Chain A
């Protein structure tokens, strides 16, 4: 580890949903430019981690701390976290009929620029940028006019998430099972998009179930999340180990669900 200042620091985080503890002592430290993969079995809390970090209603933090660029993330509203540079690419992006994709993208970019005290981008310039981003993720330009994710296939929704990331240029991107439901070609498009955004100061958390995506997005670190905390960390080779052996050997004790199921 270098001495660079951390971008994201999670310390002993405990969080619950509907009074059920899901995150149980999660700690993680991410420096600028790093790519961390988080793997783990179903129900380990992978998606919950993203929701808690983004400040979703109904996800309550019991204890612990999270800082982004030294700022207390947990004190911020959801939109403030986004403006501070956090981006969550959803596993299941929501469809919003009646709000066009372009209107949505422009509102997002406008809100973030305003928060950073930057000048508003003109509609014409924004359209140019949006078209370029559309092209980069292999979505037809016509998708800008459609309702947000409305009638998009699973793969198109994932690419739309990626397009938002390209336009918003966040500091920290959490990709929540962005590979799920994608065929190999679509996955390569997504991976290429992510790789094109890797810079010295932008970091990624790649949440995935399978090692496959990590063949295309090379992680600096791999963590195994199980029962709400990280039970093992390593380099990229850990992903291959997991692929070969599964997760069972890592789980300290079976969860209640597993005992019942």
Chain B
């Protein structure tokens, strides 16, 4: 066990609040869990040295951090600063059908329900999920009433000042037939350590549009998860955009717990320098007639490393499942690295499944050809390969969000060099 984890457990033991039974459970599991090594499959390519060495503190003075503006997009804001829920910056006027409440302030009945749902979707195998269970002090509960169509996107921002350690946790529940858009964003100033986990329970016929931005870079250690429980005829459309950092790890779980549910996951990552980004995406088809489409694309430059593990598990009763998983990668240097592992586990006999992973290098001949026509090397790279990522940006249902992130990605891409 690492010193860091020992310390985290000790801190967790010091917290006593409404979630006490759940926190005790998590601490119990943590104390039985071995600290991952290279032989731990879930962390095989992602060493935890930067967590072990972290000197980030969980009590750091907050300094005027606020969520980024996105042109043409008005959002309901849910803001955490260094792990604490920021009432001032969070929206107080909410549309009808939407409630956002600190778990500690819920009435008894709702609190009992929230305790029951806490960690019921996020699988307990996620080590840092357990850490988050134990340490996330301000757990916020978001509820969208049955039938409500919440047009304004809800943005969950976790803002960290330099040197901060923070653990944020949100529980989202969409009632029957409800519709909502949720954006998760982490913004960190450097030398930070964060865990940010959100669980989504999507009731029958409900629809969730989801975005997760992990654009923190440099010396930030960011670990998180988005976990979705899909009930009958519910739908989710998720987009993940990530850069890398000293350690950036994301776990997603999509659970088809009802029939005829539909999940789409589009993820893209652009890594440069010595960055690392690790995406573990798991889909559980536990019930029949579900569909999943997963497109994961990455561009890795310099000495950066990407890890993708995409597992689709089709249970014995999940007949008529349609599932597709595709991972395409582009390496821009011969020192760049991608470890990709698509896994299909199929126990039902009447299903359609496909998976594939490809790794390509930048076409140096095409690059040269464009240069001989006067196009600069950097512009040529963008022309040759931006389309590959752009296609996924085009699939983002929210146009304002797409137009916000497109130039950010384009600029990063233009800085990445072919080596």
Residues of A that sit less than 8 Å from B by CB: 54-57, 77-79, 81-83, 87-88, 90, 93-94, 96, 98-99, 103-104, 107-108, 111-112, 115, 148, 164, 168
Contacts and interface: CB of A to CB of B under 8 A. Distances in A.
B375 A108 contact: yes
A82 B374 contact: yes
6 contacts: A55-B371, A83-B374, A93-B369, A96-B384, A111-B375, A111-B376
B368 A57 contact: yes
Given A99-B384, A103-B383, A104-B383, A56 B377 contact: no
Contacts of B364: 57
A40 to B, nearest CB: 22
Contact of A107 (B363, B365, B379, B388): B379
Contacts of B375: 79, 107-108, 111
Given A77-B377, A94-B365, A99 B387 contact: yes
Interface string B97-118: 0000000000000000000000
Contacts of B377: 77-79
Contacts of A83: 374
The 8 closest A-B pairs by CB, nearest first: A108-B373, A82-B374, A78-B371, A111-B374, A112-B374, A79-B371, A94-B369, A98-B387
B368 A78 contact: yes
B374 A108 contact: yes
B383 A107 contact: yes
Contacts of B370: 96, 104, 107-108
Chain B interface, DSSP helix/strand/loop, else mixed = helix
A82 B369 CA distance: 11
A237 B155 CA distance: 78
Contact of A115 (B365, B372, B374, B384): B374
Contact of A54 (B363, B372, B376, B388): B372
A168 B374 CA distance: 9
Nearest to A95: B366
Contacts, number: 66
Nearest to A84: B374
Contact of A111 (B365, B379, B384): B379
A83 B375 CA distance: 9
B368 A164 contact: no
A105 B366 CA distance: 14
Contacts of A103: 383
Contacts of A115: 374
Given A82-B373, A148-B369, 6 more contacts: A81-B372, A94-B369, A96-B370, A96-B384, A99-B383, A112-B374
Contact of A82 (B363, B371, B384, B388): B371
A86 to B, nearest CB: 8
A229 to B, nearest CB: 24
A79 B373 CA distance: 7
Contacts of A104: 370, 373, 383
B379 A96 contact: no
Contact of B369 (A81, A87, A96, A168): A96
B384 A168 contact: no
Contacts of A112: 374
A96 B373 contact: no
A77 B384 contact: no
Contacts of A56: 368
Most chain A CB within a 10 A radius of its CB, from B365, B369, B373, B387: B373
Most buried by B among A78, A88, A93: A78
A112 B379 CA distance: 13
Contacts of B368: 56-57, 78
Specify which of A79, A82, A104 lies most central, judged by the most chain B CB atoms within 10 Å of its CB: A79
A108 B375 CA distance: 5
Contacts of A111: 373-376, 379
Contacts of B387: 98-99
Contacts of A93: 369
B172 to A, nearest CB: 37
Nearest to B382: A107
Contacts of A164: 373
